[in-house]
Structure 1
């Protein structure tokens, strides 16, 4: 028995190296019995030499244009994460940009010229940011840093609207986005200590080491 995928068959796909949902896949079919999933990996489609050097170095790419790559199969339902919001462009390409209201992991430091052969990209620290505006060509996207709520593993809240907390990601800096983090908005009534308007983030989209996440409030913690 074969069941075709739904209207939006694009899913984030976990990176086997660091476990983050930083790759994309186009689900083609689900074969029954056994839940064998047929899919095609979406690979970056660089538009210029700068993007091409990043793709050629195998650095993670989560924003921009993608095209269908090789066909693969898996029985592992947990290989996939959230549904990917994208726009289908000409010649079968897919365009992915952070969208307003989403939560993304952002590389705190990332040198585009580093070679992936040294595995340096696995050592970067992350910021967690809320997307405040839709992406605009030649302008970029506005984001706000999120602070970790002390006492919780994956609960984050908005940082103060300051120069540190709110900033723009320019079009030539989109490579600093690592991956989207699925999230749920909290009302503050869930349990004691949960701030209203905070976000419960998918722990499987966060690094295993909490020290790999940088946030504005961490500076104050270190000074105490």
Structure 2
């Protein structure tokens, strides 16, 4: 179990400044890691949690030895993305031959993954309850230029692939005036939901760590809102 971390955060809302402690931050310690775990780490030009690693050893109180996982594309558009070196965050992954020592501050979250019976690969897909960034208007014909100029929408996962061959997601929108708080988006009083097939899950950009803030309603923010990790927000939505 992950050891709880406490950090005082200050969020600005028009006319209000307030702080609270949260059990969530990147001040990990050696007690948070165990050999064989899969973690997401921040990397790449956008510095988002799009790279998966397997924990091999705890080196010091601030460093961990890991081996990177690499995608195992199956469908044509997945193979094309890997050839163009576009990040793939959903699907099958295998252990690469690249091992490095990383600072614990580079780790984002512990990944839920399912190993194959012979432990040759891992299956990583969005899990019910998680918050993810999804590419807007993604389709299987996307090229590198489409990826580089894309925008993302924020969604909550409502069902798992374990339940059927697609997942249901709900569209989230920013709480007005609160750059890191998101809640369900509605149209004419109805929640905006739709399904994503397994073959289209390459359209997910990355998971965004998020948590609830009890008592936030007193500041005019819906209690059902999620507070999203600021540095994991899609680049065009970061503060």
SS for the counterpart of 1:133 is: coil
1:144 maps onto 2:153 in alignment: no
Give the deviation of 1:152 after TM superposition. Answer: 1.2
1:17 maps onto 2:45 in alignment: yes
Give the deviation of 1:151 after TM superposition. Answer: 1.5
1:201 maps onto 2:232 in alignment: no
Aligned to 2:54: 26
1:166 maps onto 2:193 in alignment: yes
Aligned to 2:113: 86
Name the Cα RMSD after superposition: 2.7
SS for the counterpart of 2:87 is: coil
Contact 1:13 1:81 in 2 (8 A): yes
Map residues 20-99 of structure 1 onto 2, 5 A cutoff: 20-32=48-60, 35-92=62-119, 93-99=121-127
Q: Which runs of 5+ in 1 are unaligned?
A: 213-224
With structure 1 as the length reference, what TM-score do the two structures score?
0.81
Aligned residues: 207
Match of 1:128 among 154, 162, 167: 154
Aligned to 1:218: none
Deviations 1:179-199 (A, max 9, x none): 111110233447512211110
Deviations 1:176-220 (A, max 9, x none): 10111111023344751221111001111103432x8xxxxxxxx
Deviations 1:107-132 (A, max 9, x none): 0033544443x5x4232100000001
SS for the counterpart of 2:138 is: coil
Aligned to 2:20: none
Give the deviation of 1:14 after TM superposition. Answer: 1.4
Mean Cα displacement is larger for which, 86-95 or 144-153?
Answer: 86-95
Change (3 A) 1:50 1:123: closer
Contact 2:166 2:196 in 1 (8 A): yes
Contact 1:106 1:178 in 2 (8 A): yes
Higher share of residues assigned strand:
2
Q: Which runs of 5+ in 2 are unaligned?
A: 1-29
With structure 2 as the length reference, what TM-score do the two structures score?
0.76
